[in-house]
Structure formats: C-alpha cells, structure tokens
Structure 1
Amino acid sequence: MYEPKGFPWEELGRKMAIVFKALGDVNRMKIIKILASNPDESICVVDLGKILGITQPATSQHIKVLQNINIVSPKRIKNKTFYAINSGQLRDYNKIIDEMFKKAFQRCTYDGDCTTCPDRGNCK
C-alpha cells in the first residue's frame, strides 16, 4: 500500500477501520438514527429491541459495539440502563471522515514525502 512518508495513515486507518466496522451493521445504524433523532431522550435496551424487532441480547451486543467507539452513552436509573447518543463524538467522526476524503483526492507533487513538502501543513 502506498503511504506518504510522515503522515499517520496507519494510525488513523486503524482507528477509522474500527469505527467503520462498528457502523457496518444495519441494526447499529438504526440505533444511531433512533437515538440521534431523540437527542433529549434516553432509551433502554428493551425498548430499542422492540423498535428494531430483535431480541434484548442482540440489542445489548449492538449497544456494546457502539459504546466501544463512544457513540452511545449509558445512564443508569434504578435497575435499568438507558442509552443516549453522544452527538459530539458522532460529529468528530464525521469531521475525520470528511478530512480523510478531502485529503485522499489531493494530488501529491512530492511523491508522498511529507517531510520535504512545503504544503505539508495541509496534509496532516
């Protein structure tokens, strides 16, 4: 794989691969949509499962994956855990993805050697 010298593609690529993998499931995308469209409300796993038409254990597994990338936040009330969207993190991922695409389609006139490029500040 072509990798410009001095640019953290490996590190960024690993992190975003985890995010893309977590987002690569229809039910997880639906959970994000449900929570993001109700930002002032928290919803429990049982209710999310009913909305999605899947079991509580399956819903819990999807929530766990989304928690691992910090897109949903838990809130314990008595004996139930409710989940809400972490819209700040979602916006951060959106910015990173936008930047990745923007930079991916920029032509490099220095053969990927960021250490000698006078425009390197715009690459990182």
Structure 2
Amino acid sequence: MSKQEPVLLGQDCADGCCPALLTTPLDEEQATGLAKVFKALGDPVRLRLLSMIASRAGGEICVCDLTPAFGLSQPTISHHLKQLRLAGLIGSERRGTWVYYRLLPAATGRLAAVLTGPADAAL
C-alpha cells in the first residue's frame, strides 16, 4: 500500500467488517491499516476536524467553515484534512474554488466494529 492510498478497513473480510479485537487477533495487514487510522486520529486538531465534519447538519461542511475555527494556517488545515482523507475517515468534493468534506459512515462503522465485540463478549 502506497503512502497516498486511503486505508480501507475490512475490505478483505468476507462480511465486509474487520474482526473485533475482543474476538479475533488482527493479522499484520489489518493491524497496519488500523494503526494508520489511529495515527490519523491521534492528533487533537484532526479529532476536532472530524467532530466538526461529523456533527454538521446536512452531513458536509466547506473548508471555508473549518479553517476559522483554528488558529492555524489554511495549508496546515488542508494537511490535517488530507491525513483524515487518507485514513479513509472523510471524503471530499470540490465545488468551484471550495472543497466540501463529509464523514464516511461506513469507515467509522467498521472502526467501531473493530473496537467492540458481540454484545455477549462484554458480559
């Protein structure tokens, strides 16, 4: 996997979902992909960006609405958004001069599935 390819959790699983950490040990490829997602989420700015995108009414937000919320330059915000995109957590669409970002619910759903087990595993 090149550095520029988005991480796709669970693509190699028959049911479309990675095994839960509580039920099945991860293989090397799964662990590598999951580590890239956690690395992207390991930055407070990226967590805030993801939260702002996910909580936006209508499901998407313009980069022009994200940048003013931070005391960072536009290129720095773009870098953080790129890392979230490469981790497979957000998608983007260019409209004229602006880029709109949206959460990819399937990616966050697969991430949640990895971190949780079947309902009876916690009992």
**Under a length normalisation based on structure 2, what TM-score does the superposition of the two structures give?**
0.68
What is the 5 A alignment of 1:1-124? Answer: 8-38=26-56, 40-99=58-117
Helix, strand or coil for the counterpart of 2:100? strand
Identity of aligned residues (%): 28
Higher relative CO (Cα under 8 Å, sequence separation at least 6) belongs to 2
| CA RMSD of superposed structures (Å) | 2.2
Counterpart CA distance in 2 for 1:54 and 1:27 is 10
Counterpart CA distance in 2 for 1:30 and 1:89 is 17
Helix, strand or coil for the counterpart of 2:116? helix
* Residue type of the alignment partner of 1:55: S
User: Which has the higher mean CA deviation after the structures are superposed, 44-53 or 70-79?
Assistant: 44-53
Helix, strand or coil for the counterpart of 1:92? helix
- Structure ranking higher in helix proportion: 1
* Residue type of the alignment partner of 1:19: V
Helix, strand or coil for the counterpart of 1:53? coil
Answer with 1 or 2: which has the greater Rg: 1
Following superposition, the deviation at residue 64 of structure 1 comes to 0.3
Helix, strand or coil for the counterpart of 2:88? coil
**Under a length normalisation based on structure 1, what TM-score does the superposition of the two structures give?**
0.68
Structure 1: runs of 5 or more not aligned: 1-6, 106-124
Following superposition, the deviation at residue 81 of structure 1 comes to 1.0
Q: Deviations over 1:80-105 (max 9, x none)?
A: 11111112211111111224xx98x9
For these two proteins, the number of residue pairs brought into alignment is 96
Structure 2: runs of 5 or more not aligned: 1-24
